[in-house]
Chain A
C-alpha cells in the first residue's frame, strides 16, 4: 500500500497551477520574467509547496499593488515581487542583481539595456 504522503506531489501541484485563476497568474508571471509558461510551471512545482501554489494568484495580486515602487529599477526588475511576494529568488542575490544593474546605469549604459541585463540574470536564477 502506498500512502499519499509518500507519493510524488507533482501531478497535484500541476493540477493546482492549471486551474483557471492560477493559470492566469502563472501566465502573467511568465510574461514578466520572459520565460515560457511550461518552464515557469516546472520551476514553481519544484520550488514552492502546495499551499504557496494555491496562494500564488493572491500573492501576485498583492505584489502588483504593494511591491516597492519608489525605485524604478527595483520595480522593473520585480525586486520585492520575486523575493518577498513570490519567493523565487533569494534576497541577497536579488540585492546584488539590483546593485549591479544600478552600477551599469551609473556607468553610462542605457536604463533599458541595464534592466534587460538584470532581468536576464533574474531569469537565470529562477531557472537554476
Chain B
C-alpha cells in the first residue's frame, strides 16, 4: 500500500481481542482511519492440498477441521456435495437430524461470535454470560453426536447416530433455558447505553457495498441483503417453514442483533424438528461415484461452497472450498473499517463481522 498518511498503525498478528492471528494495518490521519490492509498467512493449513488424492472417508474428517467453530456445517456441506455427485438419497429422519445438529452448532457459533464482540467492547459480564450459555449448547451437541467439536456426524446417505426420545426431551429443556438466558442478555445488550455508544452507527456498511463484495451470512443480512440465506433453498428447511432474518441498520449493533435473532430462530427450528421428527431409518446407504459438483450450504457465518471432483473409487481428485469469511473479512477491512472515526472502533468492527481466519486461510 502506498503510504500517504501520518501514521500506519498495525493491529496484530497477536491481539488480545482476536481469536486468531491476523495483521490489520490501518493508515490513519489523526484518529480517522483512511484505509486498511490485511495480512494473512499466520495459520495457513493448506488443507485443500492435503485433501487431494485421498478417499472421501478421510477427506470427510479433514473437511470439518477447516474450522473448529462451525465444524458441523463443513461436514454437512462436504457430505451433501458427495451425495449430489453420487445421487444418494437421504432418509427424512436423517435430514431432520442433520438440521438439529447444524442448528445447535449455529447457536454455539453465534454465541461465541457475540461473546467475542462483548469482550471486545469491554463488556466482560455479558461476554461471560454468553460463554457460559454456550457450554449448555455444546453439551447438547455432544448428546446428539457424541462429540462437542469435530463431530463427523453426517455420512453419505444419512447420519451416524439417532436421537433417542429421552435425549430429545432433555435437549428441549436445555434449549428452553438457553432461550431464557439469551433473551435476558439481549435485553441488556439492546438497552445498554455504553453498548450503544460502541455499537450503533459504528462500522456501517450499506446494502450496495455488501452486494459488491459478496458479503454473506449475518453480516450481509444486517445490511439488508434479501435472499442471502441458503437455508431458504434447502428442502428440509423449506419443509420447516424457514424465513430469513434481516435488519437494515448495517452497523455493529445490527450484526450482533442478527446473530441473537438467529439463535432464537435456530432454537425454534430444533423444536420443530424434534416435535415432527419422522420415523424411519437414519441411513439410506449408497456408493460415492466419479463426478464433479459445486454445492453451497448456509454456515453460521454465511455461504459455504465446496467444489469437488471425484474418481470412480470415491477419491477426491480436486477440491476448492470457499468459506464465508473470505468475503466477510474482506468487506470488513475495506468497507466497514474504512473511514472509522476512531482507531478504537477498528477492533470492535472487525470482531462484529465474526471473522474466522482459520476458514479464510484454509
Contact = CB atoms under 8 A, between A and B. Distances in A.
A49 B37 contact: yes
B278 interface: no
A20 B318 contact: yes
Interface residues of B, number: 28
B53 interface: no
Interface string A1-45: 000110001001000000111000000000000000000000000
B211 A21 contact: no
Central interface residue in A20, A57, A58, by most chain B CB within 10 Å = A58
Contacts of A49: 1, 37-39, 333
B45 to A, nearest CB: 13
The A interface is mostly helix, strand or loop, or mixed, namely helix
B327 A58 contact: yes
A54 B41 contact: no
A46 to B, nearest CB: 10
B320 interface: yes
Given A49-B1, A49-B37, A54-B360, A5 B320 contact: no
A55 B212 contact: no
B330 A62 contact: no
A70 interface: no
A59 interface: yes
Contact of B211 (A4, A19, A50, A66): A66
A21 B327 contact: no
Given A5-B13, A51-B360, A85 B212 contact: yes
B213 A50 contact: no
B329 A4 contact: no
B5 to A, nearest CB: 16
Nearest to B21: A4
Contacts of A58: 213-214, 322, 326-327
Interface in B207-242: 211-214
B123 interface: no
B320 A55 contact: no
A84 B212 contact: yes
17 contacts: A4-B41, A5-B10, A9-B41, A19-B48, A19-B320, A20-B307, A20-B320, A49-B38, A49-B39, A51-B326, A51-B334, A54-B40, A54-B330, A55-B326, A55-B327, A58-B322, A85-B212
